[in-house]
Structure 1
């Protein structure tokens, strides 16, 4: 079964994910390891559509 997950990130979270993936990719390159999976995820995150959402917080 191929399950899809949707992750909603704000601008800062998206920036941190891209930076972290890039740091991991650079580390793997320096260790001489394959980066194919990281490259795929990095491209998906970088090219993901930006959807504006309204968040409503209910206080008790």
Structure 2
């Protein structure tokens, strides 16, 4: 089965909010003593994602 790719277009403020939300979620999971592997993976993928300038 072919993997589906998704594209998301964010401005600087939205990008910052997503990073902040992921870090907050990770901190909450750490405080609860739960695993943060999934959040770590998403955070790494999000920060390494290619940035493309588009005109709207």
Normalising to structure 2: TM-score of the pair?
Answer: 0.89
Q: Which has the higher helix share?
A: 2
Q: CA deviation at 1:30?
A: 0.6
**What is the root-mean-square deviation of aligned Cα atoms in Å?**
0.9
The secondary structure found in structure 1 opposite 2:10 is coil
Q: CA deviation at 1:49?
A: 1.3
- Within the alignment, does 1:13 sit opposite 2:38 as a pair? no
Normalising to structure 1: TM-score of the pair?
Answer: 0.84
Whole-angstrom distance in 1 between the partners of 2:19 and 2:36:
14
Give 5+ residue unaligned stretches, structure 1.
56-60
Q: Larger relative CO (CA 8 A, sep 6+): 1 or 2?
A: 1
Q: Which residue of 1 aligns with 2:50?
A: 49
How many residues get paired? Answer: 55
Give 5+ residue unaligned stretches, structure 2.
none
